[in-house]
Chains A and B, each alone.
Chain A
Amino acid sequence: MKFEVYVPRNERDLLTFLSRRKGVARIIAGGTSIIPDIRTRKISPICLVDVSHLSNMRYIKRQKDRVRIGALTRIQDLKSKILKKTGCKAFEQVAGNFGGTAIANMATVGGNLAVASSSSDLVPVFLSLEANVLLKSSTGEREIGLEDLMVEKSKTARKTPELIAEVNFQLPATGKKISLFRKIGKRSSIFLAFLSLATFLWVDEAGVIKQARLAFNQVRSGTPGRARNVENALGGQNLNEATIERAVGRLSLDISNPFRQQTAAEYWNLASRNLLEEQLRQCTAEMS
């Protein structure tokens, strides 16, 4: 491991440096994915930019119905009171099974989104919340939907000098909100997700689903994404066994099996359906 590290004085300085060292400088925040990548020689950057001290990018705040999470917010911070109050259990579920205390204490929200792989637990969660991402560069800033940011496996639509500064999402002011997440792997804790699913439901007083958004860690090889046919089957319905069955039946329209190897592909087929069914049943439990 040999590289130089630039320590910017502030956010302005960081953005200027990124634009000057376009494509050369890589950002290090928590270090939980970039250091292993360098160690195992997957990448060999010559320059890193340390952003870990830019504490103004570490925040969770609620402005009316919008929740804003700074990119340097640590995974451990997702257990915070503000998020708990939103009723979105998904955050606690991500933080509670992220990679052990030390990793959750180091890894950041921005870092997890930047990795953009099927093993990023936050990607399906934020997709299900239809989150936007605030990108900053020396020439300005722009906000795009997270879904538009995830182009393909390990790639984002982020232009090189752009920095993921914030992720934000809107929560409906009325009605019941349910947000759940679960990931599946061989071990009961600390593993990269083989399969994960995040669900967001907005339900009115009469128990009718006003909005349903579901996202898997992969909808095709390596790419996270929404399951819109499933969502459509749920929208406007009461969440009961018949609805669940119909929604699960739509899943194959949304997903093209990410695996070529037969056992993995067959397992994915069965497990993704069953996980969806389980999570929707859990939503029913959450509603009552």
Chain B
Amino acid sequence: MRSSSQFNIIGKPVERIDAVRKVLGDPVYAADLIPNDSLHIKLVRAQLPHAKIVNIDISTASRAKGVRGVLTARDIPGVNISSCIIPDRPLLAHGKVRCVGDIIAAVIAEDIDTAADAASLVNVEYEPLPVISSPSESLRHESIKVHENGNIVRHLRIRKGDVEKGFAESDIIVENSYATQFQDPTPIEPEAGFSRPNSDGLVTFRGSMQNPHYVRGAIARILGTREDKVRVVQADTGGTFGTKSDEVAMDIGGLTAISSIMMHKPVSLVYTREESMVLHSKRHPFTIKHKTGVTKDGLLRAAEIELVADTGAYASNGPLVLLRAIFHSTGPYVIPNVKADGLCVYTNNTIAGSFRGFGNPQAHFAAECQMDAVASKLGMDPLEFRLKNILRPGASTASGQILDESVGLEECADIVRDSSRWSDKRAEYKASQGRLRKGIGLALMYHGNSIGPEGADIATATVTLTKSGVVFKIGLTEYGTGARSGLAQIIAEVIGVPLELVKDEPADTATTEDSGGTFASRTTVMGGRAVMAAARAIRDKLNKVAAELLECHPSDVTIQDGIVRRSARSRMIPLGKLVDECSRRGVGLTEFARYTATGSAFDENTGQGTPYLQYTFGAVVAEVEVDTGLGLARAIKLTTAYDVGRAINPRGLEGQIEGGAAQALGYALMEELVHKNCEVANPSLSEYLIPTSIDVPEIESHLVEYPGRLGPFGAKAMGEPPIVAPAAAIVNAIYHATGVWVRELPATPDKILLAISL
């Protein structure tokens, strides 16, 4: 592999291709684009978390002035389903409600205030049912069924070696239990969208979302029509972090599509912050039990792990979240004997689904706190202990996958140790006295790239070169990460045009092929391979024509910055001229490419196999200061190193690393969406606190490049990985500062102070 310096555009901290319209405040988000003549929807939500619906009376609401209609389940022309993996969730509730995020009715009115007033006039008669408020209740009270077929959505297993033998070989056995909370993704843009009926029987939905092609499928099913009758266009999307990949976009698309067809007018639905926080999917709360066996010289021999995830009233992406959690549940270590069981269960809480990290932050929080607990029992430095056990090239993971390439974990660990002055600060902070105590802790991580064995990992792209530059179309969306700008860099590098000449088109089902979902951090890796292949095909054609003009072999043609030549001293041809020449010769410069990643599979009974095609690795050191009188913990510095395979845009990566760290800091210290008897107790940004500019400390990031085989130029996934390790590093640092463990996230002042005072 070439080092980054040999590339023209790859590896350079370039400007994003969508930045200008965003700094100008252009009207590009869904709520900005709602037509003036649009009608507006207000939803009627379930008032009870579990109840039979006896009657829904919409008569008063329907008659209210300005109201155009009220939709209930019976008005759905097609299939009443809006769900992700299992068709267990109706778009509009019928028969019963299973959580307070269930939608009973949609009131359509001329303005939003009228719709809201009328929504309060919809009268629902319930017969309350007993409520399941936690996974333990769900497993204990099997007679109370959230869904007919039982409360367990999925049970997954890993069986590697013989744990009994492993524990027998161990000198020390450490057992602990960890718990994590509902974390709200809190995109700053609440969910929004609108549908417009077209004269030709089509309906067009434009909204804030991750996966327009999936939303098209959902809307078509809901309308009972063919997919080609539905057009879905992604508007610029103001953050999502996973949640707009799940039910919300289908809900908004489905409800506005039905009503716009009924009313022959555009209809919009924009969530308030409260609706957003109640209705969209959140991070799954997990309880994770670890039993770890280790020899006295610090070699891990056995791990027995139990994971239970609360997916709320509907499966959403819970089964896949559990899959990712269990496959990462040991942390990035070699453990010869592993027994892990994971359960994903229903409760009457609101839905948990996709959220950056997808089960891995929970898995790593538990695993990495457990590693510190083991190190502490051994009396060893937490980093030295880890280094005895980490995944290195040739190692076998918990699923028995042999890592034969691109394993940069050790270098990441070395870098954060040196640049954070780990050893000095361990000693220095330990000696600190008084009320304010400092601590330093760390966590290592890995994160499987590709979506794993349960879906087709495909990506498609179309790239067109004209005299004006390059336009590319791809079904994978931009929602803030900058991944599409990375795709533009890849195209610019391969074809040899300046980056400014590469433009993208919105993800629009009418003009782009299905490219799979924009999730699992796969845009750069999978989408990158698709655009690379399309760009490569264009470049091959250019080379061939250029070779004739320059009288050389096609492989001797170089194109850089829009200049075509054979060698440094040869005649130059402007790229525009070459494009003209191609056109004259009938050589088309539009290329479509499809990339399919294959090879992931595992045994359902043992969890042995290849769940993911490659892994991103990383190490995070956190330094904290704890006010031991008030229990307040504050991060004062984070030092990170990630093996990114290949940095396409280092500045973009920095943004992902810092943003992910900030979100993880909130996860570690303050964020918790509280369900009280299955009601969301704090659905507002004054009660659900996310970090502000004052909470986020200096973050020093280092990039390590061990190119992988999967991604373009060796790039690995980096959208999700940054949120995986910091929470454990912070909690381990709090332990170092205070000598107390917080094993239930978030580590709020009350938990810290009460633990200290024990």
Specify whether A and B are partners. yes
Residues of chain A having any CB pair with chain B under 8 Å: 1-2, 36, 40, 100, 184-192, 263-264, 266-267, 270-271, 274-275, 277-278
| Given A270-B754, A275-B629, A277-B629: A189 in contact with B694 (beta carbons within 8 A) | yes
Task: Name the CB-closest residue of A to B112.
Answer: A1
Segment 661-699 of B: residues with Cβ below 8 Å from A: 669-670, 684, 686-687, 689, 691-692, 694-695
The residue in chain A whose Cβ has the minimal distance to the Cβ of B113 is: A2
Per-position binary interface string of chain B over residues 694-711, scored 1 when its CB falls under 8 Å from any chain A CB and 0 otherwise: 110000000000000000
| Contact call B274/A187, Cβ cutoff below 8 A | no
A191: chain B residues at CB < 8 Å are: 686, 689
- Does B750 sit within 8 A of A, measured CB to CB? yes
Of the listed stretches B161-169, B361-369, B630-638, B735-743, name the one at the interface; the rest are far from the partner chain: B630-638
A40 to B274, Cβ gap below 8 A? yes
Contact check: which of B631, B684, B695, B746 meets A271 at CB < 8 Å? B631
Which chain A positions have C-beta within 8 A of B691? 187
Chain A: CB-nearest residue to B635 = A188
The yes or no answer to B749 lying at the interface (CB within 8 A) is yes
Q: A266-B754, A267-B749, A271-B753 are in contact. Are A188 and B694 (CB under 8 A)?
A: yes
B630 touches A271 (CB 8 A): yes
List the A residue with the shortest CB-CB distance to B114: A2
| Chain A residue contacts of B686, Cβ below 8 A | 36, 191-192
Residue of A1, A190, A275, A278 contacting most chain B CB atoms (<10 Å): A190
The reply to whether the CB of B377 lies closer than 8 angstroms to some CB of chain A is: no
CB distance from B268 to the nearest CB of A (A): 18
- Residues facing A in B621-674 (CB within 8 A) are 629-632, 634, 669-670
Partner of A186, one of B684, B748, B753: B748
| With contact pairs A264-B750, A271-B631, A274-B629 given, residues A187 and B670 touching in the complex (Cβ less than 8 Å) | yes
The residues of A that contact B749 with a CB separation of less than 8 Å are 184, 186, 267, 271
A186 and B689 in contact (CB under 8 A), knowing A40-B274, A267-B750, A271-B749? yes
CB distance from B757 to the nearest CB of A (A): 6
Chain A residues whose CB sits within 8 angstroms of the CB of B113 once the complex forms: 1-2
Select one of A100, A189, A263, A275 contacting B754, CB under 8 A.
Answer: A263
Q: Are B754 and A187 in contact (CB under 8 A)?
A: no
Contact residue among A2, A100, A184, A264 (Cβ-Cβ distance under 8 Å from B632): A184
A-B contact pairs, 25 of them (CB 8 A): A1-B113, A36-B686, A100-B692, A184-B632, A186-B689, A186-B746, A187-B691, A187-B695, A188-B632, A188-B634, A188-B692, A189-B692, A190-B692, A191-B686, A192-B686, A192-B687, A264-B750, A266-B754, A267-B750, A267-B753, A271-B630, A271-B631, A271-B753, A275-B629, A278-B629
User: Do A275 and B630 touch across chains, with their CB atoms under 8 A apart?
Assistant: yes
- Does B435 sit at the interface, judged by CB under 8 A? yes
Nearest-CB distance from A252 to chain B (Å)?
Answer: 16
**Across the interface, do B632 and A263 meet the contact criterion of CB distance under 8 Å?**
no
Determine how close the nearest CB of chain A comes to the CB of B635; give it in whole angstroms. 10
Residues of B within 8 A of A190 (CB): 692, 694
Chain B residue at minimal CB-CB distance from A182: B630
Contact present for B689 and A187 (CB under 8 Å): yes
Cα(A193)–Cα(B695), bound, Å: 16
Nearest chain A CB to B275's CB is how many angstroms away?
Answer: 12
For the complex, what is the distance from the CA of A187 to the CA of B635, rounded to whole Å? 11
Closest A-chain residue to B686, C-beta based?
Answer: A192
> Contacts of A264 on B, CB cut-off 8 Å?
750
Q: For the complex, give the distance between the alpha carbons of A184 and B629 in Å.
A: 12
Taking a contact as CB atoms closer than 8 A, the residue among A188, A267, A270 that contacts B695 in the complex is A188
Taking a contact as CB atoms under 8 Å apart, the answer to whether B753 and A189 are in contact is no
CA gap between A189 and B691 in the complex, in Å? 9
Q: When chains A and B are docked, how far (Å) is the Cα of A185 from the Cα of B686?
A: 11
Contacts of A188 in B (CB 8 A): 632, 634, 692, 694-695
Residues of B within 8 Å of A275, CB to CB, are: 629-630
